[in-house]
Amino acid sequence: MDSQSTQPAIAPVGDIGGTAGYAVMPTVSQASVGKYLSDSMLLNKLCDRVYELLQEDMRSQRERVRNYGSRRW
């Protein structure tokens, strides 16, 4: 087995330094996309969840930046 035929198990999706860089991308069918677009309640739930995740990520990034230069003891 040579190194060119070996593929990584999980390839980075976006920024390597970011938390979501190694997230597994789920397979989404056209039917499920259509279901979310046609049902406003589902779409609102999805948007709310995405917003919550964004806020959580921004909070953790702020915390990392704040703690970057501080002494550990």
For the question of whether the overall pTM of this predicted structure is more than 0.85, the answer is no
Residue 54: its pLDDT value, please? 95
Cβ distance 14 to 20 under 8 Å? yes
Q: List the domain boundaries for the chain.
A: 41-73
CA angle 21/41/52 to nearest 5° reads 35
What's the Cα-to-Cα distance from 22 to each of 14, 18, 33, 40, 67, rounded to whole Å?
Answer: 8, 8, 23, 30, 23
Whether residue 32 is predicted with pLDDT greater than 70 in this model: the reply is yes
Q: Is it the case that residue 64 has pLDDT exceeding 90?
A: no
Residues 6 or more apart whose Cβ sits within 8 Å of residue 2 = none
